Amino acid sequence: MPITENVPTSWVDRRIRQDEVSKYMKVAQDFIDGDLIERQLTAAPKQPDAKLVRDILAKSLAIKDLTPDEVAVLINVTDKGLLEEMRDTAFKIKLKIYDNRIVTFAPVYLGNYCVNRCVYCGFNCDNTDQQRKVLDQESIKREIEVLAGKIGHKRLIVVFGEHPKNDVDYIVESLKTIYSVRVKTKRGYGSIRRVNVNAPAFSIEDLKKISEAGIGTYQVFQETYHKKTYAQMHPANTIKGDYRWRLYSMHRAMEAGIDDVGIGALFGLYDWRFELMALVYHTQELEKQMGIGAHTISFPRLVPALNSAITPDWPYLVNDDDFKRIMLIIRLAVPYTGMIITARENASIRNEALHMGVTQMDASSHIAIGGYSQMEGEQEKVKQQFILGDTRSLDDLIRDFAKEGFITSFCTAGYRCGRTGKRIMDLLRCGAEGKFCKLNAVLTFQEWLDDFGSDEARVAGLPLIEKEIQEVREKNPKALAIFTDYHQRIKKGERDLYL
């Protein structure tokens, strides 16, 4: 039976509210001007002058947004020496704003029912080979008991299709369930401290409900900003077929009281150069109209999905070199914004991303519905939206990153202290937030190693903590007393201490 058969027409009709699109449009045209983007890409010098490129890099390093014209210049850089300078600058910016921290999270798919017909997606409602499921609240608890009690995750991104079975009331109930779980560990307890949501485009009324439930970041990806391609990928007789309803979802979220929003494009649907420019326009539009840009930018790359209509000869698929360039330019264009690379990518690409400005990535990821409590082994297309490229455990990831000198952070203190929205973005721009986060990152890293770390992870991680403590002594002596007090208390078994 098609999964849309029993979906009430009234439910579908209520989803899109055109007044919640038009209210943000100053003129009839929305803020993505495809012709302008194409002209800017064409007008940019084909072999940019080294001085021009270095002037742009200096602006990025001063933590200033780049203009779309400047982004177009960087897109055209092919000189190997200048590309290496771009890479060096991106990493310097990352260290300047975020230090040597990497934030980890886990994706949790709670329901894969969906009324949409996205031609590249395994959740396409016409895909009768996909095994459909929505977790009840007890099943969600079992997932969290594994994530928080056995793996040690502190933050999640929960993912939902668009369907009455996993609508806004279900999302709200799920968030409450996730936050309620507290699991005993070998030395302390495990719990989820921040839940981000990747969900459909909602109305302001529904977004207020989600906001009140304690959401972290609200993510809606435009998939492709190119209007002709968007229409090709999302049939017009579906909810997702309305380009502008989705485009203005972040405006509505901010009006509904959600401080932190995440944008992204699915690279590979259309020309990556166009999508990159459009992402810059999107975050600048949010700054202009709503007073704050995107909290995070994601750049998932198209990967195989069950019964996808995208074939291997699709002309816009993104190769590894161009994908790395996308990462670099995002960091340079919006230097203060968080960047998320997911386990769609393989371990080699993600290890390299550490040095390209990325700030967040997932680990121990299972994207089958109920995949954590069932401890799924081999990936199965009939149970997943797509196939993962990096299946390393969180312990493996932490060990690998510690060997490279990176602290894995489980800190959520800033959000719980009210450093969200404009406040946190202003602190990031001036470099102040990194000082708080570095101290808290070390504390949470010690907590994780004590509660969940293998012997190998502890061997890699504990010397790094000692190095960080010495750095606090030298560079932040005013914080040393309270920091060392908290650190010793955590080693003795106290949990969730933060500055």
Tens digit of pLDDT for each residue in 221-232?
999 999 999 999
Which residue in 418, 403, 410 sits closest to 464, CA to CA? 403
pLDDT at 419: 59
The predicted model gives 342-355 an average pLDDT of 96
Q: Is 407 helix (H, G, I), strand (E, B) or coil?
A: strand
Q: Where are the beta strands (DSSP E) in 168-237?
A: 182-184, 189-191, 194-198, 217-219
pLDDT confidence bin for 27, thresholds 50/70/90: confident
Alpha carbon 427 to its chain centroid, in Å, reads: 20
Place of tokens 């012997």: 455
Report the CATH number at residue 335: 3.20.20.70
Q: Where are the beta strands (DSSP E) in 399-460?
A: 407-409
pLDDT confidence bin for 306, thresholds 50/70/90: confident
pLDDT confidence bin for 438, thresholds 50/70/90: confident
- For the record, the structure tokens of 478 come out as 């005013």
pLDDT at 384: 82
pLDDT confidence bin for 437, thresholds 50/70/90: confident
Place of tokens 């082994």: 377
Residue 200 domain flag: yes
State whether 192 and 72 are in the same domain: no
Q: Last residue of a domain, which of 383, 400, 426?
A: 426
What percent of the chain lies above the pLDDT cut of 70? 94
pLDDT at 303: 86
pLDDT at 429: 67
State whether 337 and 477 are in the same domain: no
Residue 1 domain flag: no
State whether 17 and 130 are in the same domain: yes
pLDDT at 406: 96
Residue 141 domain flag: yes
Q: Is 103 helix (H, G, I), strand (E, B) or coil?
A: strand
Q: How far is CA 477 from CA 87, 393, 436, 471, 482, in A?
A: 32, 36, 13, 9, 10
Q: What is the pLDDT of residues 474-498, one digit of tens each?
A: 988 988 999 999 999 999 999 988 8
Supply the mean pLDDT for the chain.
92
Residues in the chain, how many?
Answer: 499
Query: What's the total number of domains in the chain?
Result: 3
Q: How far is CA 120 from CA 124, 220, 262, 266, 276, in A?
A: 8, 17, 21, 10, 20
Cβ atoms 442, 476 nearer than 8 A:
no
Cβ atoms 216, 260 nearer than 8 A:
yes
- Report how far residue 441's alpha carbon sits from residue 447's, in angstroms, rounded to the nearest whole number: 10
Which residues are CB-contacts of 415 (< 8 A; sequence separation ≥ 6)? 194, 216, 260, 424
Residue 433 domain flag: yes
State whether 317 and 394 are in the same domain: yes
Which stretch of 1-10, 140-149, 462-471 has the lowest confidence by average pLDDT? 1-10
pLDDT at 4: 77
- Report how far residue 32's alpha carbon sits from residue 29's, in angstroms, rounded to the nearest whole number: 8
For residue 422, pLDDT over 80 is answered with: no
Residue 498 domain flag: no
State whether 469 and 371 are in the same domain: no
State whether 261 and 244 are in the same domain: yes
State whether 107 and 239 are in the same domain: yes
pLDDT at 433: 53
Q: Which has the higher per-residue pLDDT, 31 or 311?
A: 31
In this structure, the number of other CB atoms found within 10 A of the CB of residue 304 comes to 12
pLDDT confidence bin for 35, thresholds 50/70/90: very high
Residue 33 domain flag: no
State whether 416 and 443 are in the same domain: no
Place of tokens 């386990």: 343
Q: What is the pLDDT of residues 81-105, one digit of tens each?
A: 999 999 999 999 999 999 999 999 9
Place of tokens 């894969």: 112
In this structure, the number of other CB atoms found within 10 A of the CB of residue 3 comes to 21
Q: How far is CA 256 from CA 128, 250, 290, 363, 375, in A?
A: 36, 10, 11, 31, 37
Residue 261 domain flag: yes
Q: Is 192 helix (H, G, I), strand (E, B) or coil?
A: coil
Cβ atoms 124, 307 nearer than 8 A:
yes
- Report how far residue 87's alpha carbon sits from residue 354's, in angstroms, rounded to the nearest whole number: 11
Q: Last residue of a domain, which of 426, 454, 473?
A: 426
- Report how far residue 467's alpha carbon sits from residue 414's, in angstroms, rounded to the nearest whole number: 23
Q: Which has the higher per-residue pLDDT, 179 or 2?
A: 179
DSSP state of 188: S
For residue 434, pLDDT over 60 is answered with: no
State whether 395 and 454 are in the same domain: no
Place of tokens 């040095």: 355
Pairing assessment for the beta strands 182-184 and 189-191 based on DSSP bridges: antiparallel
Residue 135 domain flag: yes
Q: Model pTM? A: 0.94
State whether 212 and 356 are in the same domain: yes
Q: Last residue of a domain, which of 74, 92, 110?
A: 92
pLDDT at 430: 61
Which stretch of 112-121, 129-138, 381-390, 477-486 has the lowest confidence by average pLDDT? 381-390
- For the record, the structure tokens of 216 come out as 């972290």
Q: What is the pLDDT of residues 174-219, one digit of tens each?
A: 999 999 999 998 888 899 999 999 999 999 999 999 999 999 999 9
For residue 428, pLDDT over 70 is answered with: no
- For the record, the structure tokens of 100 come out as 């040597």
State whether 62 and 161 are in the same domain: no
State whether 295 and 190 are in the same domain: yes
One-letter identity of residue 480: L
For residue 450, give its domain range: 429-491
Which stretch of 25-34, 39-48, 414-423 has the lowest confidence by average pLDDT? 414-423
The predicted model gives 434-441 an average pLDDT of 78
The predicted model gives 252-274 an average pLDDT of 97
For residue 291, pLDDT over 80 is answered with: yes
pLDDT at 1: 54
